[in-house]
Amino acid sequence: MTDLYPSRREAAPRILPRLDPVVHSSWDERAPITRAQAEQFDRDGYLVLDNVFSAEEVAALQTSAAKLLADPAALEDETVITEPGGREVRSIFKIHQQSGTMARLAADDRLAGVARFLLGDDVYVHQSRLNYKPGFVGKEFYWHSDFETWHVEDGMPQMRALSMSILLAPNTVLNGPLMIIPGSHRKYLTCVGETPEDHYRSSLKKQEYGVPDEDSLAELAAEHGIVAPTGNAGTVIIFDCNAMHGSNGNITPFPRANAFIVYNAVSNRLVSPYGPEAPRPEFIAARKHVSVLQRPEVTLLEAAS
């Protein structure tokens, strides 16, 4: 396959143009979001949908998340990631295959329907996880474009994927919220340094390859600024696969918990990685077991009960 977005190959970083659309459908009245929302996503690379889920649904999702966190031994071993240098759980991967409620959440039309519209295609779950930034000791996630990693390490061919963060606890400006450089999704910042084989285990705790350089980050931030969308539990933050984002640590007593679902267009299924030979495992990047999401037959509350 032609590599439209080469990275980790040259000695110096470069800023390349994005070759793919951001919104892959034309807006009309049947769209699941407003025209203004579609335009904002196109321009800024992110969108906040307030209070998508009812209080009852939020409670059901929180119960489901608490169950996952309470008994990590019941989960597939490698899907549980702890804080660097600590034992606190930082992420649990593949939640849509380890919890019926989370599976139902991923298929929810309020999420998958918006993903279908923005990606202009049927969609499947490329990756899912519960991100839990504990109070007091939560560590930062450094700046990165998800797409850079998904392209180089997983073989995602084009920019036709997006992430949804479903807030399960208040995300405030002080408890290490997602920070995005709006507009950064329209540029492709290449990274320096070849990727060693099998480095994904440590990278899930702390990224060491595919790390953008400080000068380019400073340039992007100076041009576009930095935003930190916040919200209460039940709010959904959508961001483009190539949006430059990260988050600070969290010393407040207030944990930040989010369910995180990555939707990819079925036309954008993974090929061989563009970087290292061996692809990362299935729980990080769905390659073989890909099911096109169908509109669900039961409600979220029914699935959770």
Least Å distance, CB 301 to a second copy, is 29
Q: Does 281 bind a second copy (CB under 8 A)?
A: no
Radius of gyration of the chain (CA): 18
CB 106 within 8 A of CB 264: no
Residue with tokens 């507009």: 183
Beta 89-93 vs 123-133: how paired, if at all?
antiparallel
Q: Does 13 bind a second copy (CB under 8 A)?
A: no
In the region spanning residues 127 to 156, those forming contacts with a second copy, defined by CB under 8 A, are 135-136, 140, 142-143
CA separation (Å) from 138 to 85, 228, 249, 259, 263? Answer: 11, 17, 5, 16, 26
Residue 124 pairs in a beta bridge with 264
Nearer to a second copy by Cβ, of 165 and 248: the residue is 248
Q: Does 192 bind a second copy (CB under 8 A)?
A: no
Count residues contacting a second copy (CB under 8 A)? 25
E strand residue ranges, 32-140: 46-49, 80-82, 89-93, 123-133
CB 226 within 8 A of CB 179: yes
Nearer to a second copy by Cβ, of 107 and 257: the residue is 257
Nearer to a second copy by Cβ, of 111 and 220: the residue is 220
Nearer to a second copy by Cβ, of 234 and 246: the residue is 246
Q: Does 229 bind a second copy (CB under 8 A)?
A: no
Least Å distance, CB 220 to a second copy, is 8
CA dist., res. 25 & res. 119, Å (int):
7
Tokens at 119, concatenated = 């990606």
Q: 67 CB contacts (<8 Å, ≥6 apart)?
A: 99
Nearer to a second copy by Cβ, of 70 and 218: the residue is 218
Least Å distance, CB 7 to a second copy, is 20
Q: Does 226 bind a second copy (CB under 8 A)?
A: yes
Q: Does 228 bind a second copy (CB under 8 A)?
A: yes
User: Chain centroid to CA 90: how far?
Assistant: 15
Q: Provide φ and ψ at 264, rounded to 5°.
A: -120, 145
Using the rule CB under 8 A, give the single segment among 29-37, 109-117, 222-230, 296-304 that binds a second copy: 222-230
Q: Does 15 bind a second copy (CB under 8 A)?
A: no
Q: Does 283 bind a second copy (CB under 8 A)?
A: no
Q: 9 CB contacts (<8 Å, ≥6 apart)?
A: 190, 194
In the region spanning residues 240 to 269, those forming contacts with a second copy, defined by CB under 8 A, are 246-254
Nearer to a second copy by Cβ, of 174 and 266: the residue is 174
Q: Of residues 174, 192, 266, 301, which one binds a second copy by CB under 8 A?
A: 174
CB 179 within 8 A of CB 228: yes
Q: Does 88 bind a second copy (CB under 8 A)?
A: no
Which residues lie near a second copy (CB under 8 A)?
135-136, 140, 142-143, 173-174, 176, 179, 214, 217-218, 221-222, 226, 228, 246-254
